[in-house]
């Protein structure tokens, strides 16, 4: 099947999603090829604070907001994100539903655990957060509570099972809201493991919060990360709505070159390679890049095109969003957003596919 796209993005992690959003917003006809999910689904999809105004980050946060997954944060001051083990991680921008410590925070926060849920110890967490908050001169205090869910959701109980019940069952959401309201009576806010649905939108979470009667924030758990999955789902849905065409589940087998241009991208679909044709190809495949290009850690030219050993572009119309070098998670995520945005700008600059027109 050969259809013409303006741009074909390979990869649906932070880089690929940002690139597809930027290209689509600029009116390009975009196809996105992905084997499934990028690494953002395994954690909280948070971004480090940039060193100054950052157009890539702005593009991403606008995209996320339009997707119903608003990111909160500031370009000039870091927030502190509590982790499962009671540490405070510096973060720049994070999805609105994740808990953050602000220097101005006061009051009492109920840390709600779920009976039978492995990997989340409310008592330990509350104690640790109190200790850490004290050490850092932060005034928020924590008190643990454990809820018993009114449903048998499988043994062992996982946040995934809770999240999927939350998505499917209105009665469960109502029951949970009233249990939390009761458990948090007298507190100013509530902290939960991230479990409030994979399909939740900002709107749905706001409604839940109103039912509970006080601010509800979530904490990133061990995978499966409901937080990451929720973000990814919303971002992909937005791309669908923008008209991006998805080819999901199968990897790119090869880039077919003809006279220094990538003429076809071959996707390893069952039975017969799917052959996709696009004016520009944007690789956002993380560590698979070397394999696809046949070049190990290639340098990029000023148009973000990978260069071979002789210093020539691999192809006139192929750009890369390179994988970040080892960096802390939130920083790596920010670098991915920048890489995707940068690669998209190269494509949009028109120089990459000038010859084709």
Partner 1 sequence: MRTDSFSVDNCLKCSLCNTVCPVMGVEPEYPGPKRLGPELERMRVEGVATDTTWVEYCLGCHRCDLACPNQVDVSAMIAAAKATHRKPLQRRLRDWWFARPALLARLAFVAPAVFNLSLSLKPVRVLMERVMGISSRRPFPRYTHGLQPRSAAQAPRGRVAFFPGCYIRANRPDLAAKVVRLLEHCGYAVEIPATTCCGVPSLANGAAAEAAAQARTNLEHLAPLAESGVPILTACSSCGHMLKTGFSGLLEGDLSARANQLASAIWDLGEFLAREAAEGRFAGAALAGKQRVAYHAPCHLKSQGIGQPWVALLRQIHGVTVEPLDAGCCGMSGTYGFKQEKYELSMRIGQSLFERIDEVRAESVASECATCRMQIEHGTGTRTLHPLELLEESIAEESRA
Chain residues that interact with partner 1, rule: CB under 8 A: 1-3, 35-37, 41-42, 151-154, 160-161, 164-165, 167-168, 198, 223-224, 229, 237, 240, 245-250, 267-272, 274
Nearer to partner 1, 125 or 276 (CB): 276
The least CB distance from residue 35 to partner 1, in Å, is 7
Nearer to partner 1, 98 or 153 (CB): 153
Nearer to partner 1, 249 or 328 (CB): 249
Nearer to partner 1, 27 or 134 (CB): 27
The least CB distance from residue 183 to partner 1, in Å, is 22
The least CB distance from residue 163 to partner 1, in Å, is 9
Q: Residue 120: CA atoms inside 13 Å, Cβ hemisphere, count?
A: 30
The least CB distance from residue 226 to partner 1, in Å, is 9
d(CA 186, CA 164) in angstroms, rounded, equals: 29
The two tokens of residue 163 are 């999240």
d(CA 281, CA 5) in angstroms, rounded, equals: 10
The least CB distance from residue 90 to partner 1, in Å, is 27
Nearer to partner 1, 37 or 146 (CB): 37
The least CB distance from residue 116 to partner 1, in Å, is 12
Nearer to partner 1, 96 or 151 (CB): 151
DSSP alpha helix (H) spans, 6-79: 14-25, 55-66
d(CA 223, CA 42) in angstroms, rounded, equals: 5
The two tokens of residue 74 are 């500031």
Q: Are 336 and 14 in contact (CB under 8 A)?
A: yes
The least CB distance from residue 71 to partner 1, in Å, is 22
Contacts 24+ apart (CB under 8 A), 258-266: 260/313, 260/315, 260/316, 261/315, 261/316, 261/317, 261/355, 261/356, 262/315, 262/317, 262/318, 264/2, 265/8, 265/10, 265/33
Nearer to partner 1, 161 or 219 (CB): 161
Distances 149 to 205, 272, 285 between C-alpha atoms, Å: 19, 48, 40
């Amino acid at each position: 099947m050969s259809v013409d796209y303006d741009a074909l993005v390979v990869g649906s992690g932070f880089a690929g999603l940002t690139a597809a959003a930027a290209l689509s917003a600029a009116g390009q006809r975009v196809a996105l090829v992905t084997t499934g999910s990028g690494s953002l689904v395994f954690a909280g999809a948070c971004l480090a604070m940039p060193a100054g105004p950052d157009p890539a980050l702005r593009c991403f946060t606008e995209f996320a907001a339009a997707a119903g997954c608003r990111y909160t944060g500031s370009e000039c001051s870091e927030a502190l994100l509590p982790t499962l083990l009671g540490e405070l991680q510096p973060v720049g921008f994070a999805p609105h539903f994740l808990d953050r410590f602000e220097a101005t925070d006061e009051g009492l926060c109920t840390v709600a655990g779920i009976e039978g849920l492995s990997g989340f110890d409310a008592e330990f967490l509350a104690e640790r957060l109190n200790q850490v908050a004290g050490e850092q001169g932060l005034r928020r205090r924590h008190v643990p509570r454990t809820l018993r869910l009114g449903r048998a959701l499988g043994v062992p109980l996982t946040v995934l099972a809770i999240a999927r019940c939350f998505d499917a069952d209105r009665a469960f959401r109502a029951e949970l809201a009233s249990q939390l309201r009761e458990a948090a009576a007298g507190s100013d806010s509530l902290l939960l493991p991230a479990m409030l649905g994979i399909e939740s939108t900002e709107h749905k979470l706001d409604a839940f919060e109103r039912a509970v009667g006080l601010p509800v924030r979530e904490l990133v758990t061990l995978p499966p990360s409901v937080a990451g999955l929720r973000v990814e789902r919303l971002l992909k849905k937005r791309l669908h709505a923008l008209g991006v065409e998805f080819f999901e589940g199968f990897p790119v087998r090869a880039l077919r070159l003809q006279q220094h241009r990538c003429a076809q991208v071959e996707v390893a679909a069952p039975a017969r390679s799917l052959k996709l044709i696009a004016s520009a190809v944007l690789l956002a495949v993380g560590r698979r890049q070397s394999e696809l290009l046949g070049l190990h850690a290639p340098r990029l030219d000023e148009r973000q095109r990978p260069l071979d050993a002789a210093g020539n572009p691999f192809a006139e119309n192929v750009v890369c969003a390179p994988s970040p070098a080892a960096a802390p998670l939130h920083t790596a995520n920010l670098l991915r957003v920048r890489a995707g945005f940068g690669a998209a700008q190269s494509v949009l600059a028109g120089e990459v596919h000038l010859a084709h027109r």
